[in-house]
Structure formats: C-alpha cells, structure tokens
Amino acid sequence: MLDFVEVVCRIGTYCRKVERVGPAYLNSKKKQQSDHIERSESDEKLLNDDFEVDVNYLKSLDPKEWKNQDHYKILGLEKLRFDATDDDIRRAYRRMVLQHHPDKRKAKGEEIKTDDDYFTCITKAYETLGTPKTRRSFDSVDPEFDDSLPTQAEIESSFFEIFKKYFDLNARWSEKKSVPPFGDMNSTREDVERFYSFWYDFKSWREFSYLDEEDKEKGQDRDERRWIEKENKVARIKRKKEEMMRIRALVDLAYNNDKRIQKFKNEEKERKLAAKRAKMDAVQAQKAEQERAVREAQLAKERAEKAEQKRIEQIRIEREQAKKAIKKERKLLRDKAKENNYFGNNDKDVLKNMEGVEKICETFSLTELQELNKKMENLAKDSFFLALKKADLKIKAELEEVNQTQNKCKSATKSEPVIKEVKKTELWSNENVQLLIKAVNLFPAGTSQRWDVIASFINQHSTGEANITARDVLNKAKALQHSDFSKNTLKTQANATAFENFEKSKKEVVTSSDITVNTEISSEIAGNSESKENHTNGNIPASTAGNTKSSKTALKAWTKEEQALLEQAIKTYPISTPDRWDRIAECIPNRSKKDCLRRVKELVELVNSKKEAQQLVK
C-alpha cells in the first residue's frame, strides 16, 4: 500500500498528493508498524484482564431464546458491560469466532449441532451490541442493573455511602454528562441544592424498545405493522413513566432522610425567627419611642399649663396689689383733702373741690397719685390745685378725641336718598360683599340648600332694602372667585369695612353734655364716694372720664391669642366659680370684664344667626 503525503504548492492555491519514496517511505512504514504492534499488545492485555468465557454457559444456551440472553456474558465482557467500548466488543467477537466457530471446533473433533448450535447466540450478541441503536436498546434493559431502592435499615446504617452508590448507578441514564456528586455532611447548601435540583429535573435516555412483544416487521401489511407499532409505543410510554416514578421515589427518599436538608431548614427557620424578632424589637422600640414622645409632650404640655396658670395667677396678684395700692393712695388723697376741708372757703368751693378729688382719683395713675400725696405733705394746697388742673386737661383731651370720632361716624353714616329700584350694579355693596364672605365661611360646601341659606343670611343682616336671591349669590360668588378675590383684595377691603361698622355699632358715644358737672349731682357724688371706693373691678367707675378706657378697649379687635386665652379661661373657671368673669378678665391682658362678656355675646349671636338662616330656608 502506497503512502501519500499532501503538499501545498505556492504557485497558485491548490493541493497535490505526492508519493513518498526512498528512506522517508521506509521510516514511515517502520513507525506505523511499531505503533500498531504496541496498541495491539496493550489492547490485548486489557482485554485479557476483563475477558472471561464460560463454555458450559454457552453450551446451555438455546438459539431460539436469544432475546432473553445476556449478550455481554456471551461475548465474555461480563465485567465491562456498560463500560465496554466498540473496539472491545469487536475484539471480543473476533476471539469468540476463533475459538467457537463450528469449523474450528469440528477440526478439534467436537460434535457440532447443525440446527441449534450456540454459535448462533454469539452472532446475535454481536449483532445486538455491535450496532449503537440496538446496543442502547439492550443497555436500557440490562438484566444486571439493579432497579430496587435502598431499605430504611441501609439508610440508617450508612446514609451517604448507600445513596452515593444508588445515584452513581442511575447516573448512567442521564442525558447530561456532568452529574453533580452526592457529597457528604460538610457539603455547602449551594452544592446540595444543585444536586437535588438536577435529580428532580432528571432526564433519562433509557428506552424500552428491546422489550417489545412483537416485531412490526413481521406484520403482513401496513395496517398490521401500524397496529403493532402503536401497541409497542403504549407499552414503552408506560415503562418510561414507571422508570421516572422510580427515579423520583429514589430522590424523595434521599431528600426526606438527608440530615443536611434538616440542618438547612433549621438554619432558615432560625434566620427567619431572628429576622422576626429583630422586626418585633424594632416595632417595640418604635412604639416605646412614640410613647416616650407622647409622655414628654404631655409633660411639656402640663408644664406649659402650670407655667401659664402661674403667669395668670401672678398677673392676678399683681393686679390685686395694684388695686390695693391705688385704692390706698386714693384713700390717702381723700383723707388729706377732707382734713383740709377740701381747700375751700365756702360750700360751693368745697363741693367743687370734692368733685375735683374724684376726678383726680379716676384720671391719675398709681405713680401720679403717689407723687401727688408726697407733694401734698408739704405744699398741700398748691399741689392739689395743680393736680386738679391736670385732671381737667386730661378729661378735655379725651373729650375732644371722642367728639372727633363721633363726627367722623356721623359724616360716614349720612344716608343718601333711597332709590326704590335697585340696579344690578348697586345690588352688591361693600356691606353685602362682606356678609357674603362671612356667610360662605359660616356655611361650607355640603350644607343643605347652601345658596338659599346664604341669601337668607345676607337679607337678614343687611341694612339695605335689596332682596338678594340664591341666583344672585351664586353669580357673585363665581365673579369673586374669578376676580381679584384670590389676591385677598376684596377680602381685605371687606374686613376693613366690617371693622369700621364694628367700631360704629360698638362705640359708646359720649357727648359733652354728659360730662358737664352741675351742682345738682355734686352732693350725690360726695354722698356716694364711699360706694365708688368699694367698686368690684377696682378700676374707673361708670363716669364719663372712666368710660374712656373701656371704650378704647372695646374698639380694639380680638386677636387669635386673646381668643385662645378667653376659651382657655372659660374652660378653667366653670359657672360655679365665684366672681367668674372677674377671674376670666384677669387671664386676658388689656381686656376688661365688660370686653369678655361682649365678646361671648357676639359669638353667641353669630351662632344663633347661623341657625336662624338655616331654619328660614327649611
């Protein structure tokens, strides 16, 4: 046989076979022969180690029952079996032919049976194992393979060893070549999970066509062959399901008895319990923190209330002390004037100076009274008349201020000629706009027949003669919503107008004739001086000069802080409290008892007017 070598010529791109000649040919031949001899010797040695033939077993075989025979044992490959290569099978068959061919045995003088000689079984065995498809079919039903499952006693005695053995046996059926190992007690959780995941998704190439009861090729026609194939397919599917159930049972048995799985479950359980405990601790800590914050807020509130009560009590004490001090100074002034017969030469002067003493007591502050009493110790008469002039000047200044305010109110409230027919442009005056804003706040969205209620409220409280309907109210509200009302322009104007009206209605008008002192009431003032001294408020009595301070406080609008103090004081001092409104007035700086009563009355009237407007619509 000639030896050829492939040569690539660089002239163009093409290949050419060139025959070796001379020494190169001889050297290549010698190398091929030596390699073949070495391989043959090594393969022969390996085959001799695993090759065993039982002649008695061969002679006991029935060629008609060849399908139920062990083909590996017939060829002498019982040790190798599944691990035998195609070359091993080929060499084993050649050896069997050389030893057990009928002609060879006949030459040795052995009697040969022509019809049922066992050499037929050897031929069938090679035909079965020599072809990959038929060998795969026979390996699937290998009679030496153990399909059983381990017992509970075996599992308890040696869990890892016994299951490693069974899983290694069944690993031969895996379509995937890389089968994860079973591992031991020290295997990581990832390795164990990978192992069981592989076997729970196990895919086997094992098929059972070798056990078909009938061969479809023996069918007489196409229909019979199809029927045979259908029956064989049903039987194969049934055996395949049984095989997969066996594998699944083996995996479940290992999983349920695996101490590693129990250890991992306990660790997971402990981890979840730890996370749950940590979560509960966090919730408890948060709850404790919230309770602590609530307690601190409550304590702070109590401390603030105590401080406020202490402050109010201190104010009350200071006022009481101021009342006592001013009362003392007034008494001292009256006593000194009385001792000096009121610095008069006749009865008329005495009465006039008695009235002057009351003016000084009502108009002078505590500091001024103290200074006057000190001065009167040395220069009693001069100091007294200077103080009297000063008191007259104060009363005159306050009177002028009140008269100016009264004149302004009169000029602003002069009524114009009444026009019976009200135009649409004159329907909404500043007063009605202010009442509309107030009613919208009093009757929020959701009030039954809201716009009728608002219209009734405006008609009830308006001083004009115009009759405003619900449609007028709705149109005006929409107009205000789309106008500059969003910028608080109309709201500010309405609030200013409301405050002016409040001043007009609540201001106590004092005329000059009211404070003109005549001789007819002089004696009455002198006779009632002691009763005025014991006035409950301790402030200025109900005289013209004394009403100046009250009228000024009445004109001042209530702030949110004062409103809050009033509400708190009403809650603090119930109806059963003696001198309730005196105590309430003491809690609010710059507010008198009369102011507090007037404010409460206003709030009650506001609530009642709201109820009346709703009742009218109903």
Mark whether 187 and 242 lie in a shared domain.
yes
Integer Cα distance of 415 and 411 in angstroms: 9
Mark whether 132 and 187 lie in a shared domain.
no
pLDDT score for 311: 92
Instruction: Give me the number of domains the chain comprises.
Output: 4
Residue 584 counted as domain residue: yes
Residue where a domain terminates, one of 227, 257, 287: 257
Integer Cα distance of 78 and 291 in angstroms: 82
Q: Is the pTM of this model over 0.85?
A: no
| Secondary structure of residue 542 in the 3-state scheme | coil
Q: Token digits for 29? A: 């031949």
Residue 374 counted as domain residue: no
Mark whether 101 and 171 lie in a shared domain.
no
| Nearest alpha carbon to residue 613 among 441, 444, 443, 478 | 443
560-608 residue pLDDT tens:
888 888 888 888 888 888 888 888 888 888 888 888 988 888 888 888 8
Residue 415 counted as domain residue: no
Q: Using only C-alpha atoms, what is the Rg of the chain?
A: 62
Residue 300 counted as domain residue: no
134-148 residue pLDDT tens:
999 998 998 888 888
Residue 368 counted as domain residue: no
Identify the residue with better confidence: 593 or 198. 198
Print the domain residue range for 52.
44-140
Mark whether 131 and 226 lie in a shared domain.
no
Residue 133 counted as domain residue: yes
Which CATH number do you get for residue 129? Answer: 1.10.287.110
pLDDT score for 260: 92
Which CATH number do you get for residue 608? Answer: 1.10.10.60
Burial string for 124-161 (b: 16+ CB within 10 Å, else e) reads: bbbebbeeeeebebbbbebeeeeeeebeeeebeeebbe
Alpha helices in 171-258 (DSSP H): 189-200, 222-257
Residue 512 counted as domain residue: no
| Secondary structure of residue 204 in the 3-state scheme | strand
Residue where a domain terminates, one of 468, 503, 538: 503
Least confident interval from 36-40, 216-220, 300-304, 350-354: 36-40
Cα–Cα distances in Å, from 244 out to 169, 203, 206?
Answer: 15, 9, 10
Q: Token digits for 356? A: 């002057």
Q: Token digits for 455? A: 């219209």
Which CATH number do you get for residue 478? Answer: 1.10.10
Cα–Cα distances in Å, from 89 out to 28, 51, 53, 63, 122?
Answer: 30, 10, 14, 20, 12
Mark whether 126 and 161 lie in a shared domain.
no
**Residue 443 contacts residue 457 (beta carbons within 8 Å):** yes
Place 251 in a pLDDT band, splitting at 50, 70 and 90. Answer: very high
Residue 113 counted as domain residue: yes
Integer Cα distance of 436 and 478 in angstroms: 12
The crossing angle, in degrees rounded to 10, of helices 450-461 and 470-482 is: 100
Q: Hunting for tokens 């201020």 — which residue is that?
A: 401
pLDDT score for 549: 37
Residue where a domain terminates, one of 117, 140, 163: 140
With 0-12 / 13-18 / 19 or more C-beta atoms within 10 angstroms meaning exposed / middle / buried, residue 311 is: exposed
